[in-house]
Amino acid sequence: MGSKTTTSKRTVFLGCFLGATIVLLVPHGLTSKCQYAFRRVFCVPLGISRSLTLSATAPAPPEISSEKYHTLQQEFQKLSNHAANLTAVITKQEGTIDRLTQLRVEPEWQKLSFVPANVFTAQGDDNVVINRGTRDLVQLKCFILANNAIVGKVSEIQKHQATIELISHQGAFLPVYINTRETQGVCHGLGQGQMEIQSVRYNRPVAMGQPVYTCNQAGLLGTPIIVGKVAACDRNEKEPYLWKIEMAPAVNLTQLDRVDVVLPGRP
């Protein structure tokens, strides 16, 4: 015989009431954790129903004709492209500012002024053309920097553009020293990206990988700037008291993109 135990409604009510009173008396900080837990456990259905609510309560887009929609779409595309172009210009200008700021951090270089330029034509015979000219105060024989290294000099100049003779250009020369000021020589361009350093006495210590700097250039460069490094060195067979040194440029001369023209004195 099974006996069924029943609970009177008064007992049920009292039990529930007591439980509810306890919950009511528990500090809010503690009970709020239960609410957070409930929301965390049922975050998926709550999220779905919230998304449904938001999509249902979102204001309906105004009805417009297809022609007007097409016109507006084109206008939007035009403005988007314009915004993208402006963003690109801003990014480029920021890059230029950063580059110039870095250059002027060097105390000696603060005496100089720099004109940022873009290389827009690379001529085959170790020449490049930049988009700066006399209008931008660029002068003949001004030095050209790329990534903080000397890459050439202005050889021809016009109002809006200038031709740069790279240090590898055949016949180009530049007084340099290797590692220390005592090891002086002249960097000669051999064409096709080749350079050699001549007139370095054999009694001077020269080794592969040593940096090559420019010697002081009156009125132009008051501070040594790197040009390249020694790529190979051997005794000159024709003139045994001199070194025969090949130099590698500090910057890849075939991939010049942005350069800075060094002007004597700040404007």
43 is a contact residue toward another protein (CB under 8 A): no
| Region from 17-25, 129-137, 175-183, 242-250 binding another protein, contact rule CB under 8 A | 17-25
Q: Identity (one letter) of the amino acid at 138? A: V
Query: Which 99-118 positions form the footprint of another protein (CB under 8 A)?
Result: none
Q: Does 46 bind another protein (CB under 8 A)?
A: yes
Q: Closest separation between CB of residue 63 and another protein, Å?
A: 22
Instruction: Annotate 159-185 with b (16+ C-beta within 10 A) or e (fewer).
Output: eebbbbbbbbbeebebebbbbeeebbb
Question: What backbone phi and psi angles, to 5 degrees, belong to 216?
Answer: -55, 135
52 near another protein, rule: CB under 8 A: yes
* Alpha helix ranges (H) inside the chain: 9-25, 28-41, 43-57, 66-105
**Residue among 144, 150, 146, 153 nearest 171 (CA):** 153
Nearer to another protein, 17 or 120 (CB): 17
Judged by CB under 8 A, the number of residues near another protein is 31
The window from 42-50, 94-102, 216-224, 258-266 that contacts another protein (CB under 8 A) reads: 42-50
3-class secondary structure per residue, 53-74: HHHHHCCCCCCCCHHHHHHHHH
CB of 62 to another protein, least distance (A): 21
Minimum CB separation of residue 14 from another protein in Å reads: 10
Based on the shown chain and the rule CB under 8 A, indicate whether residue 25 belongs to the binding site for another protein.
Answer: yes
Question: What is the residue whose two structure tokens read 């035009």?
Answer: 78
Only one of the segments 2-10, 134-142, 171-179, 227-235 lies at the binding site for another protein (rule: CB under 8 A); that segment is 2-10
We find the least distance from the C-beta atom of residue 61 to another protein, in angstroms, to be 18
Distances from the Cα of 69 to the Cα of 60, 63, 198, angstroms: 15, 9, 71
Residue 73 binds another protein, judged by CB under 8 A: no
Q: Cα(239)–Cα(221) distance, rounded to whole angstroms? A: 31
Nearest to 144 by CA among 158, 160, 128: 128
Under the criterion CB under 8 A, does residue 238 sit at the interface with another protein?
no
* Binding residues vs another protein (CB under 8 A): 1-2, 4, 7, 9, 12-13, 16-17, 19-21, 23-26, 28, 31-32, 34-35, 38, 42, 45-46, 49-50, 52-53, 56-57
